Amino acid sequence: MAPAYRTVFNLFAIDGYSHEEISELLNISVGTSKSNLFKARQKLQERLSSAGGTRSGDVYFNNFSTQNEVPLQNKIAVDGKR
């Protein structure tokens, strides 16, 4: 994944920054922040799909298939929900 996509993804999905905050931190437009997040999610979904991961609402690290099998802190937002 491109470093710009990964940076915006981490700031938004993991660290909880808004697009406005990311825009100020990285000196990019809000639109670029949103675009990079969208592309990062696409790349992550492609990687998980090609690795044989399953997806039913949420995406998990380590290809776990049910919510009960993975601790909450390992969940990542991919579909815009936290």
Q: Cα–Cα distance between 37 and 39 in angstroms, integer? A: 5
Q: What is the pLDDT of residues 25-47, one digit of tens each?
A: 999 999 999 999 999 999 999 99
pLDDT at 65: 41
pLDDT at 75: 45
Alpha carbon dihedral 20, 21, 24, 26, in 10-degree steps, equals -110
Q: Cα–Cα distance between 13 and 70 in angstroms, integer? A: 17
